[in-house]
Chains A and B, each alone.
Chain A
Amino acid sequence: MTRDERRIEDLLRATAPRVLGALVRRHGQFDLCEEAVQEALLAAATRWRQDGLPDDPRAWLTTVADRRVVDAIRSDRARRDREAAVAAEREREEAAGGAVPEHDGAAAEDDALKLLLLCCHPSLTSASQVALTLRAVGGLTTAEIARAFLVPEATMGQRISRAKRRIADAGARFELPTEWELPARIEAVRQTLYLIFNEGYTASSGPDLVRRELTGEAIRLTRELLELLPGDGETTGLLALMLLTDSHRDARTGPDGALVPLDQQDRARWDREQIDEGVALITGALSRAPVGPYQMQAAIAAVHAEAPTAHATDWRQIAALYRLLERLAPGPVVALNHAAAVAMAEGPEAGLARLAALEGDERLAGSHRLAAVRAHVLERLGDREAAARDYLAAARGTTSLPEQRYLQAQAARLAGR
């Protein structure tokens, strides 16, 4: 992709949700408007590459997409009741002043937020929320989303159109929910963005660029969300967490694509600029906003980021932060990470005691993560045989190929192979 093409694509993606917001506000019918915006984006990508950027790209896209919506409404109605429908639409058009009203910044921002909330509507499965957000807000094509999630395009197309039908069936409105509902709905948006991020970040083994671009897309959309909710603590925390996690991307795989664990990564290859931004964001949020789980996770990532070497990591602080996180968002994975941190801060025996307490937890029964953490602690304790056994058990339990390769290598190393 040339630089100009890149610029056009960035512009299109950034403009898409605002155009869609304006159309849905005018016509209702999210499904129809969403199709029209996708078509307008495709038309723009071709036209702008040939003729250069129009003076007002957003107005260009809005006009083209709006015309398609009006045409679709007209031909749809024509089939049923030509005369009455056209008259009604003409009336609506006249009432609306003929063109899509240019609205001020605040209204456009409201629209962008409403759009995100609609795409993450509670009637949808998380996989559908992810797909719809990437298409309607992120401006990605169905083919791109399908490639990123390693499913056939037809499967992704079905998922998206079913999601749109579901939203319509659920009677979801293009409006802000009540103040009482809003926090939970925004939390659903954050969860979706974090899912998108993780899908991209965990895929950074292998040469798959499309999948890795998901991290950039998630960071961009989270920045947008933060712009819509200035100063929001948990959204700031999520953005910081993404930036700090993603700062390791060049160091977390070796030249052969194998995973490099955090304590063995070359810290000179961490992205300093991203770390500085993430640390500044989380420091600011913790000093003024009510604390939440994303902020805690970002704070933990910041402690890792600020350690000049793995050896110099402040594990006591990390263990204390996990204790807080466990109180805010109790769950087996957090408890497991807490145990791992305690093993580093207070010694392997203390870690093992915590792990033993978790073995009875049904939600962790047969979890490869528990075995992997225990293997690491047992090895530090000098019990190579038991550690090797747990590494192998973890390798059998994982569904991740790179992780399996890593765990098998650990087991083989301890067995002296």
Chain B
Amino acid sequence: MKYMLLIYNRPGFVTELSERERTGLFGEVDELMRELTESGELIGGQALVDPSQARTVRGGDGGGAVATDGPFMESKEQFGGYVAIDCESEERALEVARRWPDVRYGGAIEVRAIMGDGAAET
């Protein structure tokens, strides 16, 4: 089954860490990515720029779509990036999410299955 691990964290939290903590955090991410690559589970992943750089498009009053500065949600945690994996079970996906270091620093990982085109006969 394929899963998306959607990483939410407080923008800029990394800059408040000590150098040791920062190095540790990046090391943990590298380690996880290496493990997922070597096991053949990693499909892909990307980090996003700071939400202050985001532009949001939504329907305007006049019917046209309007772009505004800033992210969609006004909240402390913002979507920061994702990792997509193909693994044996939901438990495995949750295990990877639990080990993601952002979680320890107040972030959250949303784990959701990716929709497929396969369908059994009904």
Binds A, one of B14-22, B35-43, B49-57: B35-43
CB pair B117–A208 under 8 Å, yes or no, is yes
Question: Which of these, B2, B39, B88, B119, contacts A126 with CB under 8 Å?
Answer: B88
Distance, CA A162 to CA B38, complexed state (A)? 7
Chain A residues within an 8 Å CB radius of B63: none
CB pair B86–A206 under 8 Å, yes or no, is no
Chain A residues within an 8 Å CB radius of B113: 399
Q: Return B35 CB to nearest CB of chain A, in Å.
A: 11
Distance, CA A256 to CA B40, complexed state (A)? 35
Number of interface residues of A (CB under 8 A): 37
Task: Annotate A222-245 by CB proximity to B: 1 below 8 A, 0 otherwise.
Answer: 000000000000000000000001
CB pair A203–B122 under 8 Å, yes or no, is no
Residue A403, interface by CB 8 Å: yes
A127-B86, A155-B86 given as contacts; is B117 within 8 A of A203 (CB)?
A: yes
CB pair B43–A372 under 8 Å, yes or no, is no
Residue B65, interface by CB 8 Å: no
Chain A residues within an 8 Å CB radius of B48: none
Task: Annotate B100-116 by CB proximity to A: 1 below 8 A, 0 otherwise.
Answer: 00000000000001111
CB pair B1–A399 under 8 Å, yes or no, is yes
Residue B59, interface by CB 8 Å: no
Distance, CA A401 to CA B96, complexed state (A)? 26
Q: Return A205 CB to nearest CB of chain B, in Å.
A: 6
Chain B residues within an 8 Å CB radius of A372: 122
Residue B121, interface by CB 8 Å: yes
Question: Which of these, A127, A131, A156, A406, contacts B122 with CB under 8 Å?
Answer: A406
CB pair B41–A155 under 8 Å, yes or no, is yes
A155-B40, A158-B37 given as contacts; is B118 within 8 A of A199 (CB)?
A: yes
Distance, CA A245 to CA B118, complexed state (A)? 15
CB pair A400–B39 under 8 Å, yes or no, is no
CB closest residue in chain B, given A155: B40
CB pair A162–B119 under 8 Å, yes or no, is no
Chain B residues within an 8 Å CB radius of A155: 40-43, 86
A156-B40, A261-B122 given as contacts; is B117 within 8 A of A206 (CB)?
A: yes
Q: Which residues of chain A have a CB within 8 Å of any CB of chain B?
A: 125-128, 131, 149-152, 155-160, 162, 198-199, 202-203, 205-206, 208, 245, 248, 252, 259, 261-262, 372, 399-404, 406
Which 4 A-B pairs have CB atoms at the shortest separation, nearest pair first? A159-B40, A202-B118, A158-B40, A403-B119
Selected A-B contacts with CB under 8 Å, 19 pairs = A125-B88, A128-B40, A155-B40, A155-B41, A155-B43, A156-B40, A159-B39, A160-B40, A162-B39, A202-B119, A259-B119, A399-B115, A400-B115, A400-B116, A400-B118, A400-B120, A402-B118, A403-B122, A406-B119
Q: Besides A248-B121, A402-B118, 5 other CB < 8 A contacts?
A: A127-B88, A152-B44, A159-B40, A261-B121, A401-B117
